[in-house]
Amino acid sequence: MFIGNVDNIDKDGSDFHSIIYSVLDYLRTADFKNVSDGSYPMPHTDFMLKVQRYKTRPLSDCRPEAHEKFIDVQYVAEGEEILGWCPLSPDLKIVAPYDEKSDVVFYEKLMPESSVILGARNYAVLFPLDVHRPCSSLDDDEPSDVTKIVVKIPVDLILEEILEFVGVKNFLSE
């Protein structure tokens, strides 16, 4: 996982994969104020983005999750929430097995747990080894309104480019 603010990607994003950089650059310039909740094609890509508005929930009501096929780019356009995180580990207890159609597995809790506050214009890029718990309130007694955009980037797309870059793809296909 890595986190940041979209206003800093020109400075911080020089080492980002070009696909991740282009997604963050799009999020930096797009205005989602008048976009209804739902899934939309992201311009100039084959990716879908999901616009969602919700009230944050108490930490105990949020389940840790992970994905296998997609990298999540979670961008908070408005509001703030706590994003919990831990590395994938065999010590994590699965409470809902992997669902291939929705590309998600749910866990009982994060171990060891770290967390970060995602405020307006902040993002988190979450890879398949990043177990995460989004949507948590900073204060269980005071939920906040959040507008979040989630972009799903196929892992295979980035993996294919990395394998090609290091010459493994051509080696494997011979």
Model pLDDT for residues 9-46, shown as the tens digit of each residue = 998 877 888 899 999 999 999 999 999 999 999 988 88
For the domain that residue 154 is a member of, what is the CATH number?
A: 2.60.120.370
pLDDT on residue 173: 47
pLDDT tens, residue by residue, 85-130? 999 999 999 999 999 999 999 999 999 999 999 999 999 999 999 9
Single out the residue of 36, 12, 37 nearest to residue 25, CA to CA: 12
Q: Which range marks the domain in which residue 115 is found?
A: 2-173
pLDDT on residue 144: 95
CB-facing half-sphere around the CA of 150: CA atoms within 13 A: 15
pTM flag (> 0.85)? yes
**How many domains does the chain divide into?**
1
- Cβ neighbours for 169, distance < 8 A, ≥ 6 positions apart: 160, 163
